[in-house]
Every structure is written in C-alpha cells, then in structure tokens.
Amino acid sequence: AKSKSVIPVEGFDWGRYICSNNLVGAPVSCFKHVPMGTCWGDLAEGVRVEVLNSDTSLSTKVYWIAGVVKLAGFKALLRYEGFDNDTSRDFWCNLCIPEVHPVGWCASSGRPLVPPKSIQHKYSNWKAFLVKRLTGAKTLPPDFASKVHENLQFPFKKLMRVEVVDKTHLCRTRVALVEQVIGGRLKLVYEESMDGSDDFWCHMYSPLIHFIGWSRSIGHRFKRSDVSKKIDGQMDAPPQLFAKVKDVDQSGEWYKDGMKLEAIDPLNLSAICVATVRKVLADGYLMIGIDGSEAADGSDWFCYHSTSPSIFPAGFCEINNIELTPPRGYTKLPFKWFDYLREMASIAAPVKLFNKEVPNHGFRQGMKLEAVDLMEPRLVCVATVTRVVHRLLRIHFDGWEDEYDQWVDCESPDLYPVGWCQLTGYLLQPPAQAVSKT
C-alpha cells in the first residue's frame, strides 16, 4: 500500500487556492457527520454577517457588516458593505469562528458598527444605505455561535477503551485507548503499546471501531490483551457512542461462504477487486477476502457489514465503467465474471443482498474538500472529488499521482468540508508539490 509522508503546512491558503483556480468547495450540508453538518441549512451567497473591521485606525476592536460573496465549505469570501463591486478588499473567513456574528449582535452588545476607513466618506447617510442594503436580506440565526460550540463537543474522551481493527492484521480487532480527540477524530493507542508509538487514527463514527465485547458478540477474531488491570481513569466507551448499523434479516436468503462479489480493497483503496465471502458472522457482518492476494491463514480477511457501501455485486464495475482489479495472477484477461465463476465453481452473491440506497448527497465532480488519506489515517489532505458513481466518490489528493486516489462512500466520516481542519485545529496536508514528494 502506498502512503504519503507529512508535508509542512505553512503557506497553504484555501481561499487563494479556490479563487486563483476558480474552484468549488463541497457544501457543509454534504457532510452530515461534521459540526453544523445537519444545521448548516441554506447559508449561501448573499447572507450578511457582522465581522471585525480590519480597515480602521481605531485602537479598539470594531465591527462592520459584510456579505458572503462565495462559499467553500466552512469558509466564506466576504465583502464589506459599501464596497459594491469592488473586490479589492474581499477576504476569506471561516463562518464558524467566534468573530463572526449575526447582524444585530453588535447592537445587542452595545458596540457601534464602524465603516471601513477607505469608504468612510463614500456615503453621507450610512443609515439610509444600510436600511436599503439589509432590508429583506438573510443573516445567521441568533444562536449560530452557540450551535457551533455545541457541535464541537464530542462524546469520546481520553482513556476510553474501544475495540478497533488491528492495523497489522486486518482480520482481527484489538483493544485501544483514546489518547486524543480532535474534531471527532480519535487517536487510538493499542493496549500493550503504552509508549504511544502504536497508534491508529479514525473518526468516532468509523466502521472500524466498536464497543468492548463487540468482537466476541459477532464471532470476530480478537487479539486478547495481557493487561490484567485497568489504569485509573480508564473506562469502556459506552456502546451508544458508536455508529449504528442497520438490522438485517439473516434467516432468509443470505450470504454464504465462497460467494463472490466486488469489494474495495482495504489495503489499496484505489482498487475495486474480485472478492469472496470467507466467513459469515453474526449481526450482518461478513469476512471478505480479496481474490488472489489472500494470506493462507486468512490474516488479511476484512470485516465489512452486509450493508456496507464498499461491497458491490459482481458486475457493478462493468455496469459503471469502473476498472475491476482481477485476482492477482489471473491471466485470462479481460476478466469475465461468467468465466471466472465457472472456473472457480462458485456463485455470485445475490444482488438483492447489497445496499442499493443512494442518498441525495450533493457531491459533484470537481468539488474540493479535506479528505483523510486512509492509508495514513492521521493525515487530512486537500482533495478533489473526481468521479461520482451513485454514492461512491473517487477522491484525488491534490498534487499526488492518480494511483493514490481512493474510492470513498459519500457518507464516509473521513471526508470534511473546506475549513474543517482550521475549525477543529487539525493539521491540514496541503497539495503536494513536485519538490516535497521527492
């Protein structure tokens, strides 16, 4: 699996990047798992806010009204009222920072609005100007700031214990402790590796983490820890904190060992591969092996839920014009499912068992976002949606070769709007430049 190395972030400016290339950022409402993702509403161009006035000679903080000219994720290109079509003082601002307020906030806190120095004398009657400009315009809801604050609280806390996939043996889970929480992303340190070197990053809604006891409850392999006593302060994360999966009925027609399908390769997320159901677990979970690259002991089988958007019926790639990776060593190319199933004396998993729901996600080709490099999941990178196939997105990491691209579901908790890193304090990896890659 290819992975990237950390690149210093200095100098990257989303605003300049978006403007100089005339790019579009995916709207916050595409990301239901992020702060404000479900209450972003129709915040759009034209909305007015009260923001710090940076064009003043006064020594105290003063504010002025600005309008949203362009939105990219959490970030807005703002223009102070009075500048009309003059773009020279436009500036980018994260709408969720504490210095952005609904119109009316200054009056309610006793602060006068002061026009920018460079247009101070443009209008003799600012009141008439503002009444004309603001009447009928939109502003933020009064509780916007408190909602942002509320949305930035996360239930996972340091020292909570979880079960997480063992990154060196995908077929099993291990116990890990939450060491850090940033923006809902968890830094997990595997138990028995308390020097902190053996860690794994994932979002709190990741399908890779579970409550303590989950593996045993569904029959998943689990690496037992020899830790006999919990350290003070440790507690098992309550089961209700984890992402829920849909209940499924396994009593009727169901997946069986040996059935073939197509699956995103967990070790190479750029590829959708020919795969096999290796073991049917309880509660709708399946152990999947990638054909042609399985370890003899099954140590690289991977657990996907039957409703996972990362598994597809045989033929999905062909129908959607996606390159299907044939089993390693399989020479009868181009790969044909019909021939392969006959040669393997196998059957394809029935189409009706797969998740065919396509949410109205709003992602479009070309949209910019911040995306986790799942091969190096501590890295959140500047990225682009390059293909949309129903609910499946092809994510390209800006500045990197296409071979690093990843197939990701539209509801993946590893995708974030422009400005998420700034909002949460997470380090953003800028687009790679030729020199830094070497």
Partner 1 sequence: ATEASGRKWEQKQVQIKTLEGEFSVTMWASDDKK
Q: Return residues touching partner 1 (CB under 8 A).
A: 29, 39, 41-43, 48, 102-104, 106-108, 110-114, 126-127, 130-131, 134-144, 147
Q: In the complex with partner 1, which residue's Cβ is closer, 133 or 223?
A: 133
Q: How far is the CB of 127 from partner 1 (least distance, A)?
A: 6
Task: Report residue 309 as tokens.
Answer: 């958007």
Query: Shortest gap between Cβ of 384 and partner 1 (angstroms)?
Result: 25
Task: Give the DSSP letter of residue 113.
Answer: B
As measured in angstroms, the least distance from the Cβ of 122 to partner 1 is 14
For 296, what's the count of Cα atoms within 13 Å in the CB-facing half-sphere? 0
Gap between the Cα atoms of 411 and 398, Å rounded: 21
Would you say 79 or 101 has its CB closer to partner 1? 101
**Residue 402 φ/ψ, nearest 5 degrees:** -60, -20
How far apart are CB 332 and partner 1 at their closest, in Å? Answer: 50
Nearer to partner 1, 151 or 307 (CB): 151
Minimum gap (Å) between residue 400 Cβ and partner 1: 34
Comparison of 131 and 295: residue with beta carbon closer to partner 1: 131
**Which residue lies nearer to partner 1 by CB, 78 or 273?**
78
Q: What angle do CA 76, 422, 195 make, to 5 degrees?
A: 165
* Cβ contact 139:102 at 8 Å: yes
Nearer to partner 1, 33 or 161 (CB): 33
Place of tokens 């800006």: 398
CA atoms within 13 A on the CB side of 380: 26
Nearer to partner 1, 62 or 204 (CB): 62
**CB nearer partner 1, residue 123 or residue 211:** 123
Q: Please state the closest distance from residue 45 (CB atom) to partner 1, in A.
A: 14
> Residue 231 carries which DSSP code?
P
| Min separation Cβ 106 and partner 1, Å | 6
Q: How far is the CB of 143 from partner 1 (least distance, A)?
A: 5
State yes or no: cis peptide before 35, omega within 30 of 0. no
Going 326 to 331 to 332 to 334, the CA torsion angle's sign is positive
Q: Closer CB to partner 1, residue 197 or residue 360?
A: 360
Short-list 433, 391, 191, 166, CA closest to 299? 166
Q: 24-25 and 367-372: which strand pairing?
A: parallel
Residue 294 half-sphere exposure toward CB, CA atoms < 13 A: 19
Q: To which residue do tokens 């930035």 refer?
A: 152
Question: Could you tell me the CA-to-CA distances from 256 to 14, 59, 294, 303 in Å, in that order?
Answer: 48, 73, 18, 14
Q: Which helix (H) or strand (E) holds 252?
A: none
Task: Give the shortest CB-132-to-partner 1 separation in angstroms.
Answer: 9
